[in-house]
Structure formats: C-alpha cells, structure tokens
Amino acid sequence: MGLCPSVRFLRVWPDRIRPGCDHPAGRGVCVSRTFRGAKARRALAADDASFSDRSDTTRHSILSHGLAALAISVLGLGVAGSVSLTSAAQATQVDAKAALNSGSADTSRAEPAQQAVNLNRDLQAAAQANEREQASDAGQSNQSGTLDSFSGRDDRESRNSVRVELDRAIAAKELADRQSNLSKVDEKVVQTSRQAMQDERAEKLAETSKEIESEDARIKEEEKKKAEAEKKRQAEESASGTLSLPEDYEVEPVAVGDGGGVSPLAHYRLAARWGAVGSWSRYHTGTDLSAPIGTPIRAAADGVVVPANGGGWAGTHVIIKHADGSKTLYAHMASTAVSPGQQVKAGTMIGVVGMTGRTFGPHLHFEWYPAGASTSNPYETRDPAVWMLSHGVRL
C-alpha cells in the first residue's frame, strides 16, 4: 500500500477499495475521503446532540423564567393589594365631626383604585374558598376515617401510647394472675404435704399404740401367770411346808417370857424398827431381824397357822393368829415348816431365814396386826416390839 501525500494511509482490505482515487499506488487505497466523511458525520452528530442539549436547556430555562415571572407578578399583586387595603383603612379614619359640620364631602378619605379593590376582593374570596375547601376536606376525612399525615401521625402516636399502656396493664394483670395461681398452688402443696405428714404420723401413732397395747397385754399376761404360779406355790407351801428336817434335828431351846412370848430368833441383829423411813416404802411396817440364811424361826406366841395372803413382797411367809385376835407375820423365809390350820406353841419352829420376796439381804421381817386388821395391807400394822413387850419379851 502506498502513501497519500495529503493524509496518512491506513491498511484496508482489497474488497473495500474506494473507486475514484487517482493515486498511483498500485493496490493501496487512499482513505482520505473516507476519513473526511466520517469526521463530518461525527461532527454532525455532535452538533445534533449539542443542539438537542441546547434545546432542552432552553426549554428548562424558559420554563424557569416563566415560573419566576409568574411568582413575581403574584407577589406584586399581593403587595399592591396590601398597600390598597392599608390606604383604605387609613382613609376611613377621618374627622367625622368636621364632615358633619361642613355638610360637604369628605375629601380627606383616600379612595383606592378600582382595580386594586377588585383584586383584593378576588384574593379574599379565593382565600375564603380555600379555607372552606380545607375545612370540608378535613371534615370528610374525619367522617370517613381517613387522616392527613400530621393527624395520622399524632393518632398513631396516641394509639401506640395507648397500646403500650394496655400492654403494660395486661402484663401486670397476667403477672398478678400468675402470682395468685402460684400462691394457690403453693398453698395447696403445703396443705397436701401437711395432710400427708399428719396421716403418716397418725398411722405411726396407731401402729405404736397397737404395739404398746400388745406389749401391755403380754406383760399383764406374764404377771398374771407369775401371780398364779406364786399363789399356787404359796398354797402348796401352806399345805405341807417346804422345810425338810432330819429326824434327829434339834432346835435350840428358848425361854418363854412371863407373858407367854418367845423371841422369833435366838440370835439376830436388829436392822430396822417399825416406823423407820427408807427406800422400801413410805415407812417401815415391821421389825427387821438380820440373821444368816437357814437360821430357825419360831412362833412368837401360841396360835393357829392361817393362809398366807401378805402379798408378793413378803415372799415365802407364815401368818399365825393368836388368842387375842391379833396376827403375826413372818416374811422372806427360805422355807416353811408348818401349814394352815396347824396349832403351834410359843417357840415352835415354823421355818428358816431366807431372801425371798422384796429384800436386800437375809433377814426376818416380823409384823404384828391388831385384831380386825387385814394382813393384805401392811400399812395397818402396829409396832411389834410393844406387843412382844406385853408378852414378856424385849426385842
């Protein structure tokens, strides 16, 4: 491709050769005309775009100037109306007295121009119509339930505040109800627990009472059996005695007193007298003569052996009824040698010293019951030393 002296050459394809180029460059193509055409077209397009932009700018400018002129005209009309109204108001303040006195026309009053009056009237009428229209729109909006933006916002805020208060009141009510329900549930739980504890305690008390009653019945039954066995034993002893003596056994003789009495024991130690106070009873109901187990016991005076009913405290014992109706009781024997109904003389051996019954050591508990006293009640006894002294024996 050759070069054109007027322009720069571009490489193009042979099928795009532009005819009419007289440049002698063989198969090269001159594109000067083509380049100039494209440049012209671009310039034309730019002019069109610039013209379009200028047209749009012109239209906006005209519209803006028109609106500004219209606003200025309205402002001028408003100023003129205000001036005319002010002039009219000032002109009305005339000296009425002077006008009446002269009887002529009031020349001090300013007369506004007719056009200003008409313009002022039109402006007032338009303002009143506008106010009536706004009032009507507001009334219709209120009647139909629609609100403008400001009133709607106020109403929404008011509704929101009311809703907040209602929510708070509802929450407080729910909280109070919940607390009340919880209190009722707690009270019910406490009552149920208390009732269960009471029922359990009652059951345990009932079981304990049954056990106590059963134990009492068992103890009473055992005591009854023991009492029956003791009574049987005493009956057997009273019938035949429990002391077995050899045939060659000799009792140490004792002297009988001037009154026919004999000391129950030949050798003894005085341990306690009648009426003494100790741990055994309210007071001592007899005279205690301490001696070793097996020491012979003698009848204190003549009499008849009667059934032994002194009680379990006396253990193995013998009771003798004497001629004056009184009785003597010999307690805590180890064994007896006589039986009920047997006649005895003063000094007759009736048994030996032991530790049966309620005793703290081997000794003879000797009691005397006046005539008519019951031998089953030891507190009806009297001092046996006095009775023995009346029978010539000093204990």
Asked if residue 331 lies in contact with residue 286, where contact means CB atoms within 8 angstroms, the answer is yes
Per-residue pLDDT of 303-320, as tens digits, reads: 999 999 888 889 999 999
Query: Quick one: pLDDT at residue 325?
Result: 93
Q: What 3-state DSSP class applies to 235?
A: helix
Q: Which two tokens stand for residue 190?
A: 């406490």
Domains of the chain, residue spans = 147-240, 269-390
Q: What 3-state DSSP class applies to 358?
A: coil
Higher pLDDT, 69 or 141: 69
> Which CATH homologous superfamily contains domain 269-390?
Glucose Permease (Domain IIA) (2.70.70.10)
Alpha carbon 263 to its chain centroid, in Å, reads: 82
Query: Quick one: pLDDT at residue 4?
Result: 46
State the amino acid at position 137 in one-letter form: D
386 has pLDDT over 70: yes
Higher pLDDT, 26 or 112: 112
H or E element: which one contains 102? helix 96-102
For 310-336, what is the mean pLDDT? Answer: 93
Neighbours of 375 (CB within 10 A): 22
Query: Quick one: pLDDT at residue 123?
Result: 73
How far is it, in rounded angstroms, from Cα 68 to Cα 71?
5
* pLDDT band for position 78 (cuts 50, 70, 90): confident
Please give the radius of gyration of the chain, using alpha carbons only, rounded to the nearest integer.
77
Query: Quick one: pLDDT at residue 296?
Result: 94
Name the DSSP class of 329.
E
Ranking 78-82, 227-231, 366-370 by mean pLDDT, the lowest is 78-82
Higher pLDDT, 79 or 211: 211
Please name which of 319, 238, 259 lies closest in space to residue 286, comparing C-alpha atoms.
319
For 149-154, what is the mean pLDDT? Answer: 59
For 331-357, what is the mean pLDDT? Answer: 93
Which residues pair with residue 305 across a beta bridge?
Answer: 320
Query: Quick one: pLDDT at residue 54?
Result: 60
Please name which of 275, 393, 268, 375 lies closest in space to residue 318, comparing C-alpha atoms.
375
Ranking 15-19, 226-230, 370-374 by mean pLDDT, the lowest is 15-19
Asked if residue 350 lies in contact with residue 337, where contact means CB atoms within 8 angstroms, the answer is yes
Query: Quick one: pLDDT at residue 28?
Result: 45
For 155-173, what is the mean pLDDT? Answer: 83
Q: Report the chain's mean pLDDT, rounded to a whole number.
A: 76
* pLDDT band for position 368 (cuts 50, 70, 90): very high
For 332-354, what is the mean pLDDT? Answer: 93
Ranking 179-193, 228-242, 312-326 by mean pLDDT, the lowest is 228-242
How far is it, in rounded angstroms, from Cα 35 to Cα 8?
10
CB environment 276-297: b (16+ within 10 A), e (fewer)? eeeebeeebbbbbbbbeeebbb
Q: What 3-state DSSP class applies to 49?
A: helix
Asked if residue 333 lies in contact with residue 365, where contact means CB atoms within 8 angstroms, the answer is no
Could you tell me which residues come within 8 angstroms of residue 259 by beta carbon, excluding any fewer than 6 positions away? 390, 391, 392, 393
State the amino acid at position 365 in one-letter form: H
Alpha carbon 320 to its chain centroid, in Å, reads: 78
pTM of the entire predicted model: 0.41
* pLDDT band for position 136 (cuts 50, 70, 90): low
Q: What is the DSSP string of 163-202?
A: HHHHHHHHHHHHHHHHHHHHHHHHHHHHHHHHHHHHHHHH
Query: Quick one: pLDDT at residue 119?
Result: 67
282 has pLDDT over 50: yes
* pLDDT band for position 290 (cuts 50, 70, 90): very high
Q: What 3-state DSSP class applies to 302?
A: coil
Asked if residue 330 lies in contact with residue 317, where contact means CB atoms within 8 angstroms, the answer is yes
Query: Quick one: pLDDT at residue 288?
Result: 93
C-alpha dihedral sign at 11, 13, 16, 21: positive
Asked if residue 382 lies in contact with residue 370, where contact means CB atoms within 8 angstroms, the answer is yes
Please name which of 2, 14, 10, 62 lies closest in space to residue 33, comparing C-alpha atoms.
10
Query: Can you state the angle between helices 114-144 and 32-91, rounded to 10 degrees?
Result: 100
How far is it, in rounded angstroms, from Cα 238 to Cα 310?
13
Higher pLDDT, 335 or 129: 335
For 110-114, what is the mean pLDDT? Answer: 59
* pLDDT band for position 2 (cuts 50, 70, 90): very low
39 has pLDDT over 80: no
Higher pLDDT, 139 or 394: 394
29 has pLDDT over 60: no
